[in-house]
Chain A
Amino acid sequence: MTEPLITVKNVSKKFSFRKGLRTTEFYALKNIDLEIPKSSIIGLVGESGSGKTTLGKITLALLKPTEGEVLYEGKDVFNLTRKKEYRRLLQYIPQDPYASLNPFKTVKQLLIEPLLYHKLAGDKREAMEMVHELMINVGLTPPERYMNLYSPQLSGGERQRINIARALIIKPTYVVADEPTTMLDASLKSGIMTTLRDLVTETNISLAFITHEMSLMQFFGPNFTVAVMYLGKIMEQGTLKDLLSEPLHPYTKALIHAMPVADPKYRSDRGILLKEAPPPSPISKPPGCPLSDRCPFAFDLCSKEEPILKNTSATRKVACHLY
């Protein structure tokens, strides 16, 4: 078996903050194990507080885990010898197109700088050609129109395309896209998703796609892996098709049931499949399984012991005492 590209081993991440005189600590992630093979796409689905962004940043070595390790092709990512080379192979596409681009730099500067910094082009002319080509691939056509514009002159969708181009121009092997369409209109989402999907499949990059909308995952196809996270734990993991047709974990079921469907037929007082409880927060997790205070199927063991993520089949893992 070939070594997976990214391996996350027993990673936990603690954060602490001060409120007045008290310092509170909480676990944003607890005992996460995850493998991301080469040239694959994985979705990290969860609501706010699930830890998905933290996990994404940790896999990119932009954040250090409190416990556990992260391996890139088997090597510890935080102890690499040729840091600069490895750094460019792991890239990040941020969520907010309105805040993540430097408004004082032109599109040309934004895209050409990383190229020249990593010496991926022979000279400026070659670099410009690469930038030109990538801009076309990412949907910013004609490139000449955008070259000398500054980010405040662009729309949200255009800015996200620049974020995507920026991540891909230095030819990474692994990209984390952190909710790239959340800040965009519904009609723009499909454009960005299609572009992202096409680029990733053409270049064989591994992609970790973070989102809270499961329906977006459909752009990538039924057979790729999705991990559903809740309050710092992976609750269920499997192919998108399996998760949608046969969700096992109560949380997955609740998520799928709660989503509005673009079809008036399915309208009803759907209700939430979870019990009413104060809003979940990583600071005040219940003991045992983090879902135990809201789960309709919870029994004694659930509030005492945390369930472990176990395989129920070759492609499926669930962390729930029901299984």
Chain B
Amino acid sequence: MSPTRTSSMYDAIRRLFLFFFKIFWRRKKAFTGFIILLVVYVIPAILAIAGLVPKLPPAKAGWENMYAPPSLNDFPWYIFGTDFTGRPLLLCLIWGIPSALAIAFLAGLFTIGIGLIIGLSAGYIGGLWDSIAGIIMDVALCIPSIFLALIFAAVLPTDLKRNPFIIAAILSITAWAWLARSARAQVLSLKKKDVILVAKAMGFRTWKIIFDDVMRYLMPFIFMSLIMSTVSAISGYFGIAFLGLFPVDVTNWSIQLSQAMSYLGALGLIRGGKAQLGFWLPTIMMILIQVALVNISEIVEELFNPVLRVRLLGEIEKKK
């Protein structure tokens, strides 16, 4: 590569970096969320998948091994003590991250995928398909998604239930309807505004109009929908797991939580003692990721408002 090309690539990366830095400087909450997501979830997940984290040791029977207090054995894996199977708690928590992230984001992607396909086509094509799609959307919005997911979870065979794609699909069964509605409304509003008319007059093909023109208006919706559906998939997943409808898996934080709760009983939580960490830590893991994601969604304005984006980029240019 010629020196100018490498330098322009370096330049572009540097600008991108500064751009995100600027955004996060303006939105400190989003920045916190981003750091949490990175440090507590993404990096450990990467380390785990890369094999830098030891696999879970086999369960150790015996009361003294259940919820053993923190120790410095085999640093750092026993700093939170053990879980109800005698395995190191920290390790169980870490190994729970990849599947949680995968299921959550897959659910998010399914949601926006289905939502966009149905919503955009309903708005653009109109007519009979719009009426049919409208009915489907309304039904999806009315059905309590948790119950539907519970039913599916209860009915599916066990091996399917371990498959993250299937789980993600169950969790997004009705979540797509909100985005579909917004997408449809956006297309209709653009039709009224002559934007689509002019694009048609220019001769652009339908696909191009939808993906190049209409989508740009939808980006904030898509982003928000991605985050929101990811968050609700997380709580849905752990909710169903808590009820015991997914196969027992020590890496599942909700299962850890339910075991800790049955160990502690009603008063154990107040009286203190063993399994406190086994209760609080999985809970924090489940909640913290949702909080982080929701806070990150604050930057939607900066990302997708072109005027704001240009202004920020302009400020970067000036500082050079």
Chain A positions within 8 Å of B, measured between CB atoms, are 57, 60, 62, 84, 87-88, 90-92, 94-96, 99-106, 113-114, 117-118, 148-150, 152-153, 163, 166-167, 170
Contacts and interface: CB of A to CB of B under 8 A. Distances in A.
Contacts of A87: 201-203
B311 to A, nearest CB: 9
Contact of B213 (A60, A94, A102, A148): A102
Given A60-B201, A62-B201, A92-B201, A104 B195 contact: no
B217 interface: yes
A156 to B, nearest CB: 15
27 contacts: A60-B201, A62-B200, A62-B201, A84-B203, A87-B201, A88-B202, A90-B201, A91-B202, A92-B201, A94-B194, A96-B193, A99-B194, A100-B195, A102-B195, A102-B213, A104-B216, A105-B216, A114-B202, A117-B203, A118-B203, A148-B310, A149-B310, A150-B307, A152-B307, A153-B307, A163-B198, A166-B202
Contact of B197 (A62, A114, A152): A62
Interface in B197-219: 197-198, 200-204, 208, 213, 216-217, 219
B306 A150 contact: yes
B197 A92 contact: yes
10 closest Cβ pairs, A-B complex: A104-B216, A87-B203, A99-B193, A94-B194, A92-B201, A100-B194, A150-B306, A114-B202, A88-B203, A152-B307
Nearest to B202: A114
B110 to A, nearest CB: 26
Contacts of A101: 195
Candidate in B195, B198, B201 with the most chain A CB atoms within 10 angstroms? B201
Interface residues of B, number: 19
B189 to A, nearest CB: 9
Contacts, number: 67
Contacts of B202: 87-88, 91, 113-114, 117, 166, 170
A88 B200 CA distance: 10
Given A91-B202, A92-B197, 18 more contacts: A60-B201, A90-B201, A92-B201, A94-B197, A100-B193, A100-B194, A100-B198, A101-B195, A103-B307, A104-B304, A106-B306, A113-B202, A114-B202, A114-B203, A152-B306, A153-B307, A153-B310, A166-B198
A12 B208 CA distance: 31
Given A62-B200, A92-B201, A117-B204, A103 B193 contact: no
Contacts of A170: 202
Contacts of A95: 194
A218 to B, nearest CB: 26
A286 B307 CA distance: 51
Contacts of B193: 96, 99-100
Interface in B123-171: none
B201 to A, nearest CB: 4
Contacts of A163: 198
Contacts of A99: 193-195
A92 B198 contact: yes
Contacts of B198: 92, 94, 100, 163, 166
Contacts of A104: 216-217, 219, 304, 306
A104 B310 CA distance: 11
Candidate in B197, B203, B216 with the most chain A CB atoms within 10 angstroms? B203
Interface in B201-251: 201-204, 208, 213, 216-217, 219
Contacts of B194: 94-96, 99-100
B310 to A, nearest CB: 7
Interface in B169-198: 193-195, 197-198
B216 A102 contact: yes
A148 B310 CA distance: 9
Contacts of B219: 104
